């Protein structure tokens, strides 16, 4: 799968994704460390990547402001629980294809994940 990693995604998470065979670009690598959340959604859409983040504000952008997105994976946890979050992320990525995760907001936390489809037709590219 192809991911755009937000600045708040742990380096270890990015390393795991790459070890698992995924194509990950970070916003730092793109020189976008100071970009707005909306700019990050736009860049993910332009590059046809799923945005992976620890920033819960993306849920509001997608559902309250109905911003267009290719898909967002929100990692919920703290440093003590992130080993379990990584296990759950790996399970999510094994059980679902990139096509299934596109146009969705996925919440990944210790021991479970939820996938919520982006409902508006304006969410489609």
pLDDT in tens, 40-75: 988 998 999 999 999 988 876 776 555 566 889 999
Is residue 74 within 8 Å of 108, Cβ to Cβ? yes
pTM for the predicted model, two decimal places: 0.88
Nearest Cα to 27, choosing from 119, 47, 19?
A: 47
Task: Name which of 54-58, 64-68, 86-90, 113-117 the model is least confident about.
Answer: 64-68
pLDDT of res. 66: 53
């Amino acid at each position: 799968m192809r991911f755009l990693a937000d600045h708040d995604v742990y380096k270890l998470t990015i390393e795991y994704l790459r070890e698992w065979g995924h194509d990950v670009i970070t916003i730092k690598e793109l020189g976008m460390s100071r970009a707005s959340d909306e700019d990050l959604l736009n860049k993910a859409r332009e590059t046809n990547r799923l945005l992976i983040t620890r920033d819960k504000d993306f849920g509001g952008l997608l559902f309250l402001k109905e911003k267009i997105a290719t898909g967002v994976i929100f990692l919920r946890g703290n440093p003590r629980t992130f080993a379990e979050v990584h296990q759950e992320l790996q399970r999510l990525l094994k059980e679902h294809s990139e096509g299934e995760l596109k146009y969705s907001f996925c919440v990944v936390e210790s021991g479970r994940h939820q996938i919520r489809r982006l409902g508006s037709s304006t969410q489609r590219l």
